[in-house]
Amino acid sequence: MAIVEVVVPQMGEGLQEVRILRFLKQPGDSVKRDEHIYEMETDKAVLEVESPYSGVIVEWLAKEGDILPIGAPIVRIEVESAVQMPAVAPATPAAEAAVPRETTITPPREPVSMGPRTEVIIPPRTRAYAREKGLSEEELRRIPASGTKLMPEDIDLYLATRSTAIAEAEYIDYPLSPQQRTFIYRVKRSSQVVVPATLKRPARWDAVQRVVAQFKSQANAPVQPSEFQVFAYCVVQATRNHPKFRSQLVGEDTLREYKHVNLGIAVARPGDELVTALVKEASALDFVSFVRAVQAQIRRARQGEDQADASIQLLLTYMGGYQMIDAIPVLVAPAIAILFAGDTFLVDDVPHVNLVLTFDHRLINGVGGAEFLNEVARNLENAEQLMQQGLG
């Protein structure tokens, strides 16, 4: 085996630098020759670059967002020396092998018409600087350049001299965060495949509150569960008797049933971002282990780690404390269902919550959804006994 360094390829005459947008492969991933491994931005296009070798990604030599000169090392790949090493050459063969197909090129949008203007080149460094300043692509293309290339200094001059009317525009464009772009992609994809149906019913919440109070009253309690964590445990236990809620559709004609449910939890982050915490094989855990796992995974999610993957079967969303007692949760594939619990309200002086279940009607029918929802409600109403069983 041998390790080779792949450099940033020369994609066109006069190109001096590129901006690395995102990595499509991670260290340890296998890669085939001509497979896309990263995305970069040049003066005039966004390109997905192919690997000149088959092998395993060892490490990336830059970070997403970095601006690199042409010919700079970008990634190390472990290859079979007998097969791959003859292909190694200074930079040209790698560049030739990395030329993406025409379909991978995303041309920049046409500039806003403001009279005759010679097209100028916008280097990646300038685009990155414009994003830092909150400039949209349309506004960036309206900025006059002092030469054939638009430079950061041109942006500074534009910002210093633009009129008060522009400075006080009625809107500001901001780039979406990677997490939000990912969420949009998932929701859009789900809308194309999922057939959603929704059921709702109230459930008593007083037993959940008593469980939380009991643990708080114990000086040496192994965990301090929240109301949400008790709720989540009750839901997970209900999946034991309802296998479709720990299943997934594979294609259009296969049901894949898992022994234990992989639970996804919607977690809010600053800026109204939404990420997912994942507790794998949640129904295999006792109550204490379950609470610890939920706390740990939510902590990671709040730090920005989105754990959503193709293994999730059931999603939970909880709005206790937000004065929202009702909602229709949106199901995001590949999960088969999502269950919402809202804030508490009183019925005859007894706290209740509304449970709202959205499920994929391709797999689950109304009766199956109702039976699952009713068992969740019974578990909540008998939460104290369920916790005792979960403590062994």
Q: Has residue 238 got a pLDDT over 70?
A: yes
Q: Has residue 385 got a pLDDT over 90?
A: yes
- Amino acid residing at 273: E
Query: What's the pLDDT at 93?
Result: 35
236 and 373 Cβ atoms separated by less than 8 Å: no
**Calpha distance 329→355 (Å, rounded):** 10
Does 179 or 84 have the greater pLDDT score?
A: 179
Q: Has residue 114 got a pLDDT over 50?
A: no
Residue 335's pLDDT band (cuts 50, 70, 90): very high
Q: What is the pTM of this model?
A: 0.59
Does 96 or 387 have the greater pLDDT score?
A: 387
- Amino acid residing at 231: F
**Calpha distance 165→162 (Å, rounded):** 8
**Calpha distance 231→321 (Å, rounded):** 14
Does 172 or 59 have the greater pLDDT score?
A: 59
Query: What's the pLDDT at 88?
Result: 37
Query: What's the pLDDT at 82?
Result: 53
Residue 292's pLDDT band (cuts 50, 70, 90): very high
The pLDDT of 327-346, averaged and rounded, is 96
**Calpha distance 188→264 (Å, rounded):** 19
Task: Give the Å distances, CA to CA, from 26 to 29, 182, 275, 307.
Answer: 6, 17, 20, 15
Residues 177-212 have pLDDT tens digits of 777 787 888 888 888 889 999 999 999 999 999 999
Go through the domains of the chain in sequence order and give each one's CATH number. 2-104 (2.40.50.100), 109-175 (4.10.320.10), 180-390 (3.30.559.10)
- Amino acid residing at 288: V
Q: Has residue 110 got a pLDDT over 80?
A: no
List, in sequence order, every residue forming a beta bridge with 48; answer none if it has no partner: 39
Q: Which residues of 209-234 are buried (b: 16+ CB within 10 A; e: fewer)?
A: eebbeebeeeeeeebebbbbbbbbbb
Query: What's the pLDDT at 101?
Result: 41
Residues 123-175 have pLDDT tens digits of 888 888 888 888 887 788 788 887 778 888 888 888 887 654 455 567 788 78
- Computed over every residue of the chain, the mean pLDDT equals 85
The pLDDT of 267-275, averaged and rounded, is 88
94-98, 116-120, 365-369: range with highest mean pLDDT:
365-369
User: What single-letter DSSP state applies at residue 149?
Assistant: B
